[in-house]
Each structure stands twice: as C-alpha cells, then as structure tokens.
Amino acid sequence: MSQVEAFDAVDLIRAKRDGRELSTPEIGWLVDAYTRAYVADEQMSAMTMAIFLRGMSRREIRDLTMAMIASGERMDFSGLGKPTSDKHSTGGVGDKITLPLMPLVAAFGVAVPQLSGRGLGHTGGTLDKLESIPGWRANLTNEEMFAQLRDQGGVICAAGAGLAPADKKLYALRDITGTVEAIPLIASSIMSKKIAEGTGALVLDVKFGSGAFLTDVDRSRELARTMVELGEDAGVATSALLTNMNVPLGLTIGNANEVRESVEVLAGGGPSDVRALTLALAREMLALAGKPDADVEAALDDGRAMDVWRATIRAQGGDPDAALPVAKESHVVTADRDGVLVAQEALPFGIAAWRLGAGRARKEDPVHHAAGIDLHAKPGDAVRAGQPLFTLFADDPARFARALESVEGAWRIGDPGDAIEDGGPLIAERIGR
C-alpha cells in the first residue's frame, strides 16, 4: 500500500513562489520526500529557484538545515574526552589554510575533525592538495577518524556518504539550475554538514572579492551572519571572519606547491598573509573551544604544530618526508619595466591554474598535482625590468597559452606612490558573539 503524503510539492512551490513562508512540517516533508525521490528533480529545481528569488526567513533556513541533517547520520565526538573545534572556508585562490591550521589547533589538545572536499573550477580542494603527498588517503571510516582524533588530535579527510545525503543531492541540482548563489541554500548546505559532523565549535572563513565564491562584501557578510545564526541555533559555538580574496593568498596556487608552502608555514616561515590568517583562525577556534590564552605563534615556531602535521600525515598512509610531484615544464613571466606591482587579481590567476591542470571542470576529471603557479611578487612589492613575476607549471606545455590568456590584464606594474589595488586588509571583520 502506497504512503499517503502529508503535502503536495506543487502547492509548496506555489507558496514559496508567491512569497509565503513554509512551515516547519512543510520543509521537513519536502526534504524527506526529495531524499526518497518522491519529489522529482524538476519540482525541486522549481523550489530552489523560488527560494533564490524570494529568500527564506531565519526560521525557514534553520528548519531546512535541520531537515537536511535528519536525512543522514550525526557524528558524536563526546567520547574523546576533549573539546572539538573545526573551520570551514568558502574557498578561494591559493587558500591552503586548513593544512597548517589543523595541526596548530590540535597541538593545544583540541580535536579538529576537518571534513574537507575537492576542488571544482578555480577554487582548489583540500583533499586534492593533500593527495600530492605519496601514499596519503582521504577516505577513512568513522572508526579510523575517531581513533586519529584520539591519538594524533586532528584529521583532514573526506566526508562519509551518510552525512547529510539530502545536501549532496540538492547541491548537484543547484549546480545545474543557476541557484548555487542563493544564500539560504549555501548556508544550509554548509551548516547541515558541519552540525551533523558533531563539532562543538566552528569558525567560518567567509571570503569576498575577485577570487571568492561571493565577490560582494555585503553578500559575504549576509552569508556569514546567516551561518553564525544557524550554528548558534544548533548549540554550536560559532563565529566568522570576513577575509579578503581580491589577491591570491600566499605565493602558490595549485596542489603540490601549496603543500610545500603550508609546510614552510609549519616550520615558522612562509608568506606573511598565510601565516597571519592561520594564526587568526587558530585563535578563534581555540577561544571557542575554551582556550582563549593559547600562544599559537609559539606553537607554530617551536615545532609543536609540525609534529602534529607529520603524525597525522603518517596516520593516513602518507610519507611527510617524500618528494612532492614536480612539473615537467615551466614558463616564467617577467616584469617589462621597473616599478611597483600594484594589481594582481585573484580570479584570473585561479582560472589560469585550473587551465594548467591544477583543477577540474567536472567532478570526474583528474587533477595534475604538479600543475600550478608560483608568484614571485605581491601587490606593493618593488620590481625591476626582467625580474620574474610568476612561473606557470604544467606537464603539457600546450597548456601555457590558455593560462596566459587568463591572466592577461590581471596584473599591473605602476609607479611608486600609485594606489595598491588589493581590496584592503586581509581580515575585514569578525562576526559572532
């Protein structure tokens, strides 16, 4: 005997299309019915467009998030006997912060269950970067993840299929219906996975600018506030930093080269912006986990964070001492005059790295771990004619032409005293209690 459905999808689509708030039972039914394929993709596509155009109230977004969590399993780390704290970044060009951040926070006895993803388009994926390390594996069972959190203090791995399956199905639909940018859908997608993950505290790195998912700072602020509210409503201590993605982060864009840069940061060096953001996010994560006085700079400089990094890489089958992949071919772009580098726009450099093979156009595409870009100067640096500005790396030299097309006009050399086009400070704002 077929199940009698509580609601009708077409009625709910019309209601949202006409601006009515959906009730808690209506949203719960919609997510459940879509997960079990009673509501068709065509109907859910219409609903996501209605949400994109009409928006959702705080209560509706909370109900949507909780319904997506209820579609799968919830993890529980209470048995670890130590606090848990996690970070989520909305992604950007050269954003490798998870790599040094996880071991730094774990060095203070706070467990970091970092469930990460793969890159698509111009933003890189944390798992793709780490798979540059010979032997390292992304897929762990829940038991392996728990054991690593207990023994090494932190883990970076792929999320299991049981975590918010409704979100996975809905995200794929949004990607092909032009509704990816709907803030209620972004917020519920991110937070359903993070809340289901079971972390006690969560810090959000919400980026704005040329290379960000949302370029406009006001839209990024709205997303950050929405996600912080969702975390608080679910009992997770949550804060957000609004960070600048107008310029690439650090001096590397790719996979293996970003791992190298991350190891430099763990050794107490590395680019100043990567170090500064790592420290700022670590302070936030530790403060929310009840350790506001942790000396994170000391742990980065004295090798404690590096020790955790090496232990976690080994625990996942990787060799922290192994040589990383090196590209077969390179192409250097030099300065055509003396002056100051005044502009270096993030998005074109991200697209160039993608065209070199560092990213993927479809989720099935392979990633070339040695492909990418090394930057030799950042906005504000003085340069001389003939000095290298950046180097492109690829295994196939035929890829250089299209990558160079991407960055044409994306960087500019000016005169001393010219305004630097970097979009302002690295950290624009903190959101949260």
Mean pLDDT of 273-286: 98
pLDDT at 231: 96
Element housing 272 (H / E): helix 272-288
Mean pLDDT of 206-216: 93
Nearest to 422 by CA among 377, 359, 374: 377
Nearest to 196 by CA among 226, 228, 227, 159: 159
Which residue in the block uniquely carries the two structure tokens 């530790």?
Answer: 286
Encode pLDDT of 80-134 as tens digits.
999 999 999 998 999 999 999 999 999 999 999 998 877 666 677 899 999 999 9
Which residue in the block uniquely carries the two structure tokens 């890189």?
Answer: 124
174 as an active site residue: the answer is: yes
E strands present in 294-349: 329-334, 339-344
pLDDT at 273: 97
Give pTM, 2 decimals: 0.94
Mean pLDDT of 335-363: 92
Encode pLDDT of 311-346 as tens digits.
999 999 999 999 999 999 999 999 999 999 999 999
pLDDT at 1: 46
Q: How far apart are CA 411 and CA 368, in angstroms?
A: 25
Which spans in 327-428 are helix H? 346-353, 400-407
Active-site residue, from 87, 129, 174, 283: 174
Nearest to 11 by CA among 23, 181, 169: 23
Which domains are assigned to the chain?
Answer: 9-55 (1.20.970.10), 78-322 (3.40.1030.10), 329-414 (3.90.1170.30)
In the predicted structure, residue 6 carries a pLDDT above the cut 90? no
189 as an active site residue: the answer is: yes
Active-site residue, from 88, 207, 283, 369: 88
Active-site residue, from 193, 221, 275, 369: 193
Cα–Cα distances in Å, from 40 out to 169, 170, 192, 412?
A: 11, 11, 22, 50
pLDDT at 18: 97
Encode pLDDT of 138-184 as tens digits.
999 989 999 999 999 999 999 877 888 888 888 888 878 888 889 99
Beta bridge partners of 254: 372
45 as an active site residue: the answer is: no
167 as an active site residue: the answer is: yes
Active-site residue, from 85, 89, 188, 189: 189
**Residue 275, SS3 per DSSP:** helix
Q: 198 with 222: CB under 8 angstroms?
A: no
DSSP string, 38-78: SS-HHHHHHHHHHHHHH---HHHHHHHHHHHHHTS-----G
Let me know if 113 is exposed, middle or buried by CB neighbors in 10 A (0-12, 13-18, 19+): buried
337 as an active site residue: the answer is: no
Active-site residue, from 167, 205, 273, 422: 167
Encode pLDDT of 47-77 as tens digits.
999 999 999 999 999 999 999 999 988 898 9
Task: Give the amino acid at 206.
Answer: V
Q: Taking the alpha carbons of 125, 411, 261, 289 in that order, is the dihedral positive or negative?
A: negative
pLDDT at 346: 96
In the chain, the percentage of residues whose pLDDT exceeds 70 is: 97
State both tokens at 142.
């829940």
Nearest to 203 by CA among 279, 109, 312: 279
Cα–Cα distances in Å, from 334 out to 61, 290, 342, 390?
A: 49, 48, 15, 7
pLDDT at 122: 66
Encode pLDDT of 368-418 as tens digits.
999 999 999 999 999 999 999 999 999 999 999 999 999 999 999 999 999
Confidence band for 13, pLDDT divided at 50, 70 and 90: very high
Q: How far apart are CA 138 and CA 135, in angstroms?
A: 10
Let me know if 105 is exposed, middle or buried by CB neighbors in 10 A (0-12, 13-18, 19+): buried
Q: Could you give the angle at the alpha carbon of 87 between the alpha carbons of 270 and 311, nearest 5°?
A: 60
Q: How far apart are CA 65 and CA 68, in angstroms?
A: 5
